[in-house]
């Protein structure tokens, strides 16, 4: 027993030495309270020691063992309070990050093999360009069908009508730009891969939905999320330049397929989308950006709103036909249009830069800036394009994001 006690003492001393200065100070204050009932006067670890003071005041025995029990109880309550936000983050980041990472890998695999097949074949550039046009028009066509469906069901709102018109206009403008610059003939692998990605992600999202009670989005929250999303896209695109070539770029360079390179792209994109979901939910639940839930929410009462605890949960369901139709004609159609618009504009800019005198070292930064700008341009039409008139009742739905 003495040998075990010495081993445990040595282990605890080694663990204590590995703590940082602030943590060591906190341990010292806890020991001072347990041994001498001395509470810190400084405002350090305020929530923990405030609870310790309350429990200690109710302690009648005032023994060393009872003070140890007080610290343990206060610590457990402190950790319990942090469990909610941690669980929310795990659900949002884990669900979205995993789905986007896997579907991104699928997109890169498909686009790599399409690019390789095109290089080994002899299809004319004109046919490739027209194929890009046909695939790009799928998004606006589904958007139109979704708009007709919402009008028929009486769920269309002014925001959704405007969002759909703006998204279709952006997509058509991007297609015209790609056709004028001649980039359309080179983007077929990217457009096919993006279509597969959107379809696979949409199916995964409807089977594993992410639900929250943060309330509906609003212009302020969407604006803050848009800025954060654009900045994240630029920074991660810059980081992606350090990663090995993946997808159609790898096939164009004549390199063999590499799953690791695709997995890196999947991890980067998954992190970006998970970050977008987290920021979007936080902005919608933050009273500074969302002070008035509006008439379409059961949280219209400010006093009741203050008592709402944010909850974000991922679940598994067997989707109904209505949910599948919503996934296809609402968020799926808009997300497909947004992805094609970004690819077409970035491709058009890349074509222009290849014919310009811009230094090759700056081309990547310009393209990444263009990507971030397009990500912000499509954000508002995408988020508000799927809103529905709910006749003054609030329904938890999938968190919208690019």
Mean pLDDT of the region 289-295: 58
* Residues 133 and 253 occupy one common structural domain: yes
Mean pLDDT of the region 335-361: 91
Which of these three, 79, 110, 129, is where a domain ends? Answer: 79
Q: Does the pLDDT value for residue 111 go beyond 80?
A: yes
Asked whether residue 399 is domain-assigned, the answer is no
Average pLDDT value for the chain: 83
Report the distance separating Cα 9 and Cα 68, nearest Å. 18
Domain hosting residue 352, numbered range: 83-385
List pLDDT tens digits, range 244-291.
999 999 999 989 999 999 999 999 999 999 999 999 998 888 877 776
Handedness of CA 213, 218, 221, 224 (dihedral sign): positive
Q: Which two three-digit tokens encode residue 181?
A: 């610059």
402: number of CA atoms within 13 Å, CB side?
Answer: 34
* Residues 208 and 350 occupy one common structural domain: yes
* Residues 355 and 247 occupy one common structural domain: yes
Where are any strands of DSSP class E within 264-376?
312-314
Q: Taking the model in full, what pTM does it have?
A: 0.78
pLDDT value at position 237? 93
How far is residue 234 from each of residues 105, 191, 334, measured CA to CA in Å?
A: 20, 21, 22
* Residues 13 and 49 occupy one common structural domain: yes
* Residues 53 and 114 occupy one common structural domain: no
**CB 389, CB 202: distance < 8 Å:** no
**Tally of domains in the chain:** 2
**CB 112, CB 259: distance < 8 Å:** no
Mean pLDDT of the region 89-111: 94
What DSSP line would sit under 205-261, residue for residue?
Answer: HHHS-EEE-S----HHHHHHHHHHHHHHHHHHHHHHTTSPP-THHHHHTTPPP-HHH
SS3 state of residue 331: helix
Report the distance separating Cα 42 and Cα 211, nearest Å. 41
Q: Which residue has the higher pLDDT, 29 or 111?
A: 111
Report the distance separating Cα 395 and Cα 399, nearest Å. 12
Asked whether residue 39 is domain-assigned, the answer is yes
Asked whether residue 344 is domain-assigned, the answer is yes
Please enumerate in sequence order all residues whose Cβ is within 8 A of that of 263, keeping only pairs 6 or more positions apart, or say none: 101, 105
Q: Which residue has the higher pLDDT, 401 or 143?
A: 143
* Residues 70 and 116 occupy one common structural domain: no
Report the distance separating Cα 207 and Cα 95, nearest Å. 11
Percentage with pLDDT > 90 across the chain: 54
Mean pLDDT of the region 103-118: 96
Q: Does the pLDDT value for residue 354 go beyond 90?
A: no
Which of these three, 54, 79, 104, is where a domain ends? Answer: 79
> What are the backbone angles phi and psi of residue 394, rounded to the nearest 5°?
-105, 125
Tally the residues of the chain.
402
Q: Helix 259-285 to helix 64-120 angle, to the nearest 10 degrees? A: 130
Which of these three, 38, 60, 79, is where a domain ends? Answer: 79
* Residues 38 and 74 occupy one common structural domain: yes
pLDDT value at position 350? 93
φ/ψ region of 227 (left if φ > 0, alpha if ψ in -120 to 50, else beta) reads alpha
pLDDT value at position 396? 38
* Residues 223 and 356 occupy one common structural domain: yes
For residue 224, name the pLDDT band (cuts at 50, 70, 90).
very high
Mean pLDDT of the region 34-46: 62
Asked whether residue 393 is domain-assigned, the answer is no
Asked whether residue 396 is domain-assigned, the answer is no
* Residues 366 and 327 occupy one common structural domain: yes
List pLDDT tens digits, range 181-223.
999 999 999 999 999 999 999 999 999 999 888 878 888 999 9
* Residues 294 and 172 occupy one common structural domain: yes
Residue 200: CB atoms within 10 A of its CB come to 17
Q: Does the pLDDT value for residue 7 go beyond 60?
A: no
pLDDT value at position 309? 75
Asked whether residue 401 is domain-assigned, the answer is no
Give the pairing of strands 210-212 and 312-314: antiparallel
Asked whether residue 400 is domain-assigned, the answer is no
* Residues 55 and 114 occupy one common structural domain: no
* Residues 42 and 136 occupy one common structural domain: no
């Amino acid at each position: 027993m003495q040998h075990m006690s010495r081993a445990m003492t040595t282990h605890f001393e080694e663990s204590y030495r590995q703590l940082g200065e602030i943590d060591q100070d906190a341990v010292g204050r806890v020991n001072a309270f347990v041994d001498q009932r001395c509470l810190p006067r400084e405002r350090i670890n305020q929530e923990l020691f405030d609870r310790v003071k309350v429990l200690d005041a109710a302690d009648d025995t005032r023994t060393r063992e009872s003070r140890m029990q007080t610290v343990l109880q206060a610590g457990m309550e402190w950790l319990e309070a942090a469990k909610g936000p941690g669980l929310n983050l795990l659900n949002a980041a884990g669900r979205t990050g995993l789905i986007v990472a896997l579907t991104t890998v699928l997109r890169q695999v498909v686009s790599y093999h399409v690019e390789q097949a095109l290089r080994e074949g002899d299809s004319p550039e004109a046919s490739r360009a027209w194929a890009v046009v046909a695939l790009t028009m799928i998004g606006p066509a589904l958007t139109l069908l979704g708009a007709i469906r919402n009008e028929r069901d009486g769920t269309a709102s002014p925001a959704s009508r405007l969002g759909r018109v703006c998204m279709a206009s952006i997509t058509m403008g991007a297609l015209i730009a790609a056709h004028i610059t001649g980039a359309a003939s080179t983007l077929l692998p990217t457009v096919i891969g993006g279509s597969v990605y959107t379809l696979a992600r949409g199916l995964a999202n409807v089977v594993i939905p992410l639900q929250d009670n943060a309330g509906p989005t609003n212009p302020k929250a969407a604006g803050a999320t848009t800025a954060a999303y654009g900045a994240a896209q630029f920074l991660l695109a810059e980081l992606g330049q350090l990663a090995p070539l993946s997808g159609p770029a790898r096939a164009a360079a004549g390199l063999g397929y590499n799953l690791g390179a695709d997995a890196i792209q999947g991890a980067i994109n998954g992190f970006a989308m998970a970050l977008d979901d987290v920021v979007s939910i936080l902005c919608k639940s933050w009273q500074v950006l969302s002070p008035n839930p509006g008439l379409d929410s059961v949280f219209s009462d400010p006093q009741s709103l203050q008592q709402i605890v944010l909850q974000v949960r991922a679940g598994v369901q067997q989707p109904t036909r209505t949910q599948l139709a919503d996934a296809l004609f609402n968020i799926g159609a808009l997300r497909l249009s947004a992805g094609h618009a970004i690819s077409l504009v970035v491709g058009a800019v890349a074509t222009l830069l290849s014919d310009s005198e811009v230094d090759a070292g700056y081309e990547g930064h310009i393209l990444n800036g263009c990507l971030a700008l397009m990500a912000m341009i499509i954000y508002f039409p995408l988020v508000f394009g799927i809103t529905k008139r709910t006749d003054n009742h609030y329904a938890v739905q999938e968190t919208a994001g690019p």
